[in-house]
Amino acid sequence: MPADWVDRQLRDRGIRDTRVLDAMRAVPRESFVPEEERKHAWDDAALPLGYGQTISQPYVVALICQALALQGDELVLDVGTGSGYQAAVLDELAAHVISVERIPELVEVARLNLAAAGHRSVEVLLGDGSLGVPARAPFGAIAVAAAAAELPQPLVDQLAPGGRLVLPLGGYLVLLTEAAGRRRVEPLAPVRFVPLVTGLLP
Ligand code: SAH
Protein backbone atom coordinates (compact mmCIF):
# COMPACT_ATOMS: atom_id res chain seq x y z
CA MET A 1 0.00 0.00 0.00
CA PRO A 2 1.45 3.45 -0.89
CA ALA A 3 2.35 5.25 2.35
CA ASP A 4 0.63 8.49 1.35
CA TRP A 5 -2.63 7.05 0.00
CA VAL A 6 -4.74 8.54 2.82
CA ASP A 7 -3.34 12.02 2.14
CA ARG A 8 -3.72 11.81 -1.63
CA GLN A 9 -7.06 10.05 -1.88
CA LEU A 10 -8.80 11.37 1.21
CA ARG A 11 -7.32 14.32 3.12
CA ASP A 12 -6.46 16.39 0.04
CA ARG A 13 -10.08 16.02 -1.09
CA GLY A 14 -11.60 17.25 2.12
CA ILE A 15 -11.87 14.24 4.43
CA ARG A 16 -10.76 15.89 7.69
CA ASP A 17 -12.46 13.83 10.41
CA THR A 18 -9.47 12.21 12.11
CA ARG A 19 -11.57 9.26 13.34
CA VAL A 20 -12.50 8.53 9.73
CA LEU A 21 -8.92 8.88 8.48
CA ASP A 22 -7.73 6.51 11.23
CA ALA A 23 -10.49 4.00 10.40
CA MET A 24 -9.56 4.10 6.70
CA ARG A 25 -5.93 3.44 7.65
CA ALA A 26 -6.93 0.57 9.95
CA VAL A 27 -9.00 -1.46 7.46
CA PRO A 28 -6.96 -3.43 4.90
CA ARG A 29 -8.84 -2.97 1.62
CA GLU A 30 -6.92 -5.87 0.06
CA SER A 31 -8.84 -8.24 2.36
CA PHE A 32 -12.06 -7.19 0.63
CA VAL A 33 -10.91 -7.27 -2.99
CA PRO A 34 -11.15 -10.47 -5.07
CA GLU A 35 -7.83 -12.30 -5.53
CA GLU A 36 -7.44 -11.21 -9.17
CA GLU A 37 -7.92 -7.53 -8.27
CA ARG A 38 -5.49 -7.46 -5.31
CA LYS A 39 -2.83 -5.52 -7.18
CA HIS A 40 -5.38 -2.73 -7.61
CA ALA A 41 -6.53 -2.80 -3.97
CA TRP A 42 -5.14 0.69 -3.23
CA ASP A 43 -6.23 2.27 -6.52
CA ASP A 44 -8.34 5.39 -6.31
CA ALA A 45 -11.31 3.59 -7.87
CA ALA A 46 -14.22 1.24 -7.42
CA LEU A 47 -13.28 -2.37 -8.28
CA PRO A 48 -15.28 -5.32 -9.66
CA LEU A 49 -16.58 -7.68 -7.01
CA GLY A 50 -18.31 -10.28 -9.17
CA TYR A 51 -22.07 -10.77 -9.54
CA GLY A 52 -22.16 -7.44 -11.43
CA GLN A 53 -21.34 -5.53 -8.23
CA THR A 54 -18.47 -3.28 -7.18
CA ILE A 55 -16.47 -2.51 -4.05
CA SER A 56 -16.74 1.23 -3.43
CA GLN A 57 -13.92 3.71 -4.04
CA PRO A 58 -12.14 4.46 -0.72
CA TYR A 59 -12.92 8.20 -1.05
CA VAL A 60 -16.64 7.47 -1.31
CA VAL A 61 -16.53 5.16 1.74
CA ALA A 62 -14.72 7.90 3.69
CA LEU A 63 -17.19 10.56 2.49
CA ILE A 64 -20.13 8.45 3.66
CA CYS A 65 -18.49 7.84 7.04
CA GLN A 66 -17.61 11.51 7.52
CA ALA A 67 -21.18 12.59 6.70
CA LEU A 68 -22.54 10.10 9.26
CA ALA A 69 -20.46 11.91 11.95
CA LEU A 70 -20.23 8.78 14.09
CA GLN A 71 -19.21 9.24 17.73
CA GLY A 72 -18.60 5.57 18.58
CA ASP A 73 -21.78 4.60 20.44
CA GLU A 74 -24.16 4.13 17.50
CA LEU A 75 -25.97 1.10 16.14
CA VAL A 76 -25.42 1.39 12.38
CA LEU A 77 -27.31 -0.18 9.48
CA ASP A 78 -25.25 -0.73 6.31
CA VAL A 79 -27.35 -1.49 3.20
CA GLY A 80 -25.56 -3.32 0.35
CA THR A 81 -22.78 -5.26 2.10
CA GLY A 82 -21.00 -6.26 -1.13
CA SER A 83 -17.43 -7.11 -0.11
CA GLY A 84 -17.97 -5.94 3.48
CA TYR A 85 -15.40 -3.11 3.12
CA GLN A 86 -17.77 -0.29 4.03
CA ALA A 87 -19.16 -2.35 6.93
CA ALA A 88 -15.63 -2.88 8.30
CA VAL A 89 -14.86 0.84 8.21
CA LEU A 90 -18.19 1.57 9.94
CA ASP A 91 -17.30 -1.08 12.54
CA GLU A 92 -14.15 0.93 13.38
CA LEU A 93 -16.29 3.99 14.00
CA ALA A 94 -19.46 2.79 15.77
CA ALA A 95 -20.62 0.44 18.53
CA HIS A 96 -22.23 -2.20 16.31
CA VAL A 97 -22.92 -2.73 12.60
CA ILE A 98 -25.72 -4.69 10.97
CA SER A 99 -25.26 -5.05 7.21
CA VAL A 100 -27.82 -6.33 4.69
CA GLU A 101 -27.04 -7.84 1.27
CA ARG A 102 -29.49 -9.32 -1.25
CA ILE A 103 -27.10 -11.68 -3.11
CA PRO A 104 -26.55 -14.88 -1.06
CA GLU A 105 -23.06 -15.55 -2.48
CA LEU A 106 -21.93 -12.05 -1.50
CA VAL A 107 -23.25 -12.57 2.04
CA GLU A 108 -20.83 -15.52 2.29
CA VAL A 109 -17.95 -13.59 0.68
CA ALA A 110 -18.49 -10.63 3.00
CA ARG A 111 -18.61 -12.82 6.12
CA LEU A 112 -15.30 -14.45 5.15
CA ASN A 113 -13.69 -11.09 4.31
CA LEU A 114 -14.87 -9.52 7.56
CA ALA A 115 -13.60 -12.46 9.60
CA ALA A 116 -10.21 -12.34 7.83
CA ALA A 117 -9.93 -8.62 8.57
CA GLY A 118 -10.83 -9.08 12.26
CA HIS A 119 -14.37 -7.69 12.05
CA ARG A 120 -16.28 -10.77 13.20
CA SER A 121 -18.78 -8.74 15.20
CA VAL A 122 -20.37 -7.25 12.07
CA GLU A 123 -23.70 -9.02 11.44
CA VAL A 124 -24.30 -9.74 7.76
CA LEU A 125 -27.93 -10.53 6.95
CA LEU A 126 -29.45 -11.76 3.69
CA GLY A 127 -32.39 -9.64 2.61
CA ASP A 128 -33.76 -6.57 0.88
CA GLY A 129 -32.02 -3.74 2.68
CA SER A 130 -34.42 -1.14 1.27
CA LEU A 131 -36.85 -2.45 3.89
CA GLY A 132 -34.31 -1.87 6.66
CA VAL A 133 -34.27 -4.23 9.64
CA PRO A 134 -37.38 -3.20 11.61
CA ALA A 135 -36.73 -5.70 14.40
CA ARG A 136 -33.41 -4.00 15.21
CA ALA A 137 -34.41 -0.36 14.68
CA PRO A 138 -33.88 2.46 15.52
CA PHE A 139 -30.46 3.10 14.00
CA GLY A 140 -28.27 6.04 14.89
CA ALA A 141 -26.92 6.00 11.36
CA ILE A 142 -27.74 4.29 8.06
CA ALA A 143 -25.35 3.99 5.09
CA VAL A 144 -26.63 2.83 1.71
CA ALA A 145 -24.22 1.66 -1.01
CA ALA A 146 -26.66 1.23 -3.91
CA ALA A 147 -28.51 3.95 -5.79
CA ALA A 148 -32.22 4.40 -5.11
CA ALA A 149 -34.64 6.11 -7.50
CA GLU A 150 -36.53 7.49 -4.53
CA LEU A 151 -36.04 7.70 -0.81
CA PRO A 152 -36.78 4.29 0.80
CA GLN A 153 -39.33 5.29 3.45
CA PRO A 154 -38.64 2.29 5.76
CA LEU A 155 -35.06 3.53 6.19
CA VAL A 156 -36.26 7.02 7.13
CA ASP A 157 -38.73 5.46 9.59
CA GLN A 158 -35.99 3.36 11.20
CA LEU A 159 -33.69 6.29 11.90
CA ALA A 160 -33.29 7.22 15.59
CA PRO A 161 -34.10 10.81 16.61
CA GLY A 162 -31.13 12.90 15.48
CA GLY A 163 -29.95 10.04 13.28
CA ARG A 164 -28.22 10.44 9.94
CA LEU A 165 -28.91 8.61 6.67
CA VAL A 166 -26.49 8.75 3.73
CA LEU A 167 -27.52 7.32 0.38
CA PRO A 168 -27.00 7.76 -3.36
CA LEU A 169 -30.16 9.35 -4.76
CA GLY A 170 -30.64 10.71 -8.27
CA GLY A 171 -26.90 10.76 -9.09
CA TYR A 172 -25.89 12.44 -5.82
CA LEU A 173 -24.73 11.15 -2.51
CA VAL A 174 -27.11 12.85 -0.07
CA LEU A 175 -27.29 13.26 3.69
CA LEU A 176 -30.72 13.15 5.31
CA THR A 177 -31.20 14.44 8.84
CA GLU A 178 -34.23 15.33 10.88
CA ALA A 179 -34.19 17.95 13.60
CA ALA A 180 -37.21 19.25 15.51
CA GLY A 181 -39.46 17.35 13.15
CA ARG A 182 -37.98 19.02 10.05
CA ARG A 183 -36.33 16.86 7.45
CA ARG A 184 -33.26 18.17 5.68
CA VAL A 185 -31.69 16.62 2.57
CA GLU A 186 -28.24 17.88 1.64
CA PRO A 187 -26.34 16.86 -1.52
CA LEU A 188 -22.72 15.87 -0.79
CA ALA A 189 -21.19 14.92 -4.14
CA PRO A 190 -22.12 13.51 -7.55
CA VAL A 191 -21.59 9.74 -7.47
CA ARG A 192 -22.22 6.58 -9.45
CA PHE A 193 -23.45 3.46 -7.67
CA VAL A 194 -24.94 0.14 -8.73
CA PRO A 195 -28.75 0.23 -8.46
CA LEU A 196 -30.62 -0.62 -5.26
CA VAL A 197 -32.66 -3.63 -6.34
CA THR A 198 -35.89 -4.05 -4.47
CA GLY A 199 -38.32 -6.94 -4.32
CA LEU A 200 -37.64 -10.65 -4.61
CA LEU A 201 -34.24 -12.15 -3.88
CA PRO A 202 -32.44 -13.84 -6.81
N1 SAH B 1 -20.51 -1.39 0.48
C2 SAH B 1 -20.04 -2.31 -0.53
C3 SAH B 1 -20.46 -1.87 -1.89
C4 SAH B 1 -21.15 -2.96 -2.61
S5 SAH B 1 -21.98 -2.52 -4.11
C6 SAH B 1 -18.55 -2.50 -0.41
O7 SAH B 1 -17.92 -1.74 0.32
O8 SAH B 1 -18.02 -3.44 -1.02
C9 SAH B 1 -23.66 -2.49 -3.57
C10 SAH B 1 -24.22 -3.77 -3.05
O11 SAH B 1 -25.60 -3.53 -2.78
C12 SAH B 1 -24.18 -4.95 -4.00
O13 SAH B 1 -23.53 -6.03 -3.38
C14 SAH B 1 -25.66 -5.28 -4.25
O15 SAH B 1 -25.93 -6.68 -4.39
C16 SAH B 1 -26.30 -4.74 -2.99
N17 SAH B 1 -27.72 -4.43 -3.10
C18 SAH B 1 -28.42 -3.89 -4.13
N19 SAH B 1 -29.72 -3.76 -3.81
C20 SAH B 1 -29.85 -4.21 -2.53
C21 SAH B 1 -30.95 -4.34 -1.63
N22 SAH B 1 -32.19 -3.96 -1.95
N23 SAH B 1 -30.72 -4.87 -0.41
C24 SAH B 1 -29.47 -5.26 -0.03
N25 SAH B 1 -28.40 -5.17 -0.85
C26 SAH B 1 -28.58 -4.65 -2.07
Instruction: State residue 201's pLDDT score.
Output: 64
DSSP single-letter state for residue 166? E
Q: Where are the domains of the chain?
A: 5-190
The separation between CA 128 and the C-alpha centre of its own chain, rounded to angstroms, equals 15
Cis before 138? omega within 30:
yes
Instruction: State residue 2's pLDDT score.
Output: 79
CB 52 within 8 A of CB 165: no
CB 60 within 8 A of CB 118: no
Instruction: State residue 48's pLDDT score.
Output: 96
Query: Is 56 in the active site?
Result: yes
- What's the pTM? 0.97
Instruction: State residue 180's pLDDT score.
Output: 81
**Best mutation site among 33, 79, 86, 123 for ligand 1, i.e. most ligand atoms within 8 A of its Cβ?**
79
Pocket of ligand 1 contains residue 122 by CB under 6 Å = no
Could you report the average pLDDT of every consecutive run of 10 residues in the chain (202 residues)?
90 97 97 95 95 95 98 98 98 98 97 98 98 98 96 96 96 92 93 88 63
**Best mutation site among 33, 51, 57, 81 for ligand 1, i.e. most ligand atoms within 8 A of its Cβ?**
81
Instruction: State residue 196's pLDDT score.
Output: 95
Does domain 5-190 correspond to CATH entry 1.20.20.10? no
